[in-house]
Structure 1
Amino acid sequence: MSSDAARTRDPQSPTAVVTGASSGIGAATVRRLRAEGYRVLAVARRTDRLTALAGETGCETLTADLTDPSDVDALRAAVAERFDGDLTALVNNAGGAFGTETVEHGKVEDWQRMFDVNVLATLRTTQALLPALRAGRGGDVLVMSSTAARIAYEGGGGYTAAKHAESVMAETLRLELAGDPVRVLEVAPGMVKTDEFALNRTGGDRARAEAVYAGVREPLVAEDVADCVAWMLTRPRHVNVDLLVVRPLAQAAQHKVVREQR
């Protein structure tokens, strides 16, 4: 969508940037925030997915790799141009898990990738957009962490380390921004069945990916988490939901999952 078209929108509409918007929780969040009346800039690496999402929802799009500082600069410029530098919400959703090896056998490149996409991309994006979030009516930084940010488990060392770091970043930022008109919110989902998360983690092994959810009655889906995001962002400005942990009923804890026999 052109900047001219964007400027014809209602200037009172809330605005949001959603990262990792090409699939899963990110795409579901774009759909939900559009339904809530937000102007949304959907950000991801896959242009074709973003184009389809824009056709479906009317969102604006930016193709960017948020591990690349120059692409983060392009995002900052896009917010300044399209939203006049006044941003209501940043949903730091981009992330992922890669590999299931033990710490002893973990691949350094997988750990590096997880820290790049979960931690450093969130850091860069938040730093770039904080001035826009402070402007006007004030804004929200929402961090999509995980229940993996609250506990360790075998085969998850790299991912849990990255999500712990992301969660601590949110906690620290909330302390540092006390007194500013910026809320810092964190959503920590448990087991969410999406098209790509487990598949990416297992290196494209579809059988192993499906086994993650085998026998689990009604794992969460992306729309469940998007519903939580929308609820948190639309609370009155004096209400800050520091942390919302959400799991399916079948998952009592990270290590306690009820699986039905087939």
Structure 2
Amino acid sequence: MRVASLIGGGLVCLVVLVAVFASQIAPGDPAAMVARPMLPLFSPGHLFGTDQFGRDVLAGVVHGARISLLVGVAAALATLGLGTAVGLAAGFLGGFADAVAMRVTEAFQTVPTFLLALALCGVMGASLTTIVVAIAIASWPLSARLVRGEVLRLRTLEYVDAARMAGLRPLSIALTVVMPGALVPVAALFGVTVGEAILVESALSFLGLGDPNVFSWGAMVANGRTLMRTAPAVALLPGMAIAVTVLGISLLGDRFATRQRPS
């Protein structure tokens, strides 16, 4: 497990460094036509070649890392924030509020995450903000159930009773006493949620529902799928970037999840 986490951490660091220094690795606009179309791999000045429009594939891959990480992290924060709010309210209030929140949660869980995000993006339009919101709306139930269960456990502990006896208001107890403890297991979900968000964004872009104003890995795969026989690298390289990023995040996330499990 330790070796796997080191590999995952190394892959994540590599992707982050590529995203941070994308402008230095491949200066200019990744959507610009910079050379003759369909240059092969290892062409002079174009390491990954060019696509059918003469765009540099390396530039698209490195700049696409920024979009994938941005969407992944933003969607994960939005997902865990929404799930934490619902789970905290349900677990702390209990009774009717808990029952309603759990029925709503179960209703959302009956719909696959990608299908719900696909429907929402189809209705709201294609943009990075829409994708982040759609992923958050489709993915929050898991974190909500986890937070609710942890809150139900924490609210019976002595230090929570002591806070009540000290005269703290219920809202203060929920936010300052119960929530910090409930967030500990939720942190393990962050990596999993980032990886899932990257996959969903790539799939949406592949289907033409991504932001047309940015260069994403999913859009590159969609663009290169018709060139698999003549220039497979145009689709395979961004596809490999997606796989490496999600693999690294998953390996690193598993390490954090293992630390949260009781020994």
Q: State the structure with more CA Rg.
A: 2
Output the TM-score relative to the length of structure 2.
Answer: 0.27
Structure with the largest fraction of helix: 2
Output the TM-score relative to the length of structure 1.
Answer: 0.27
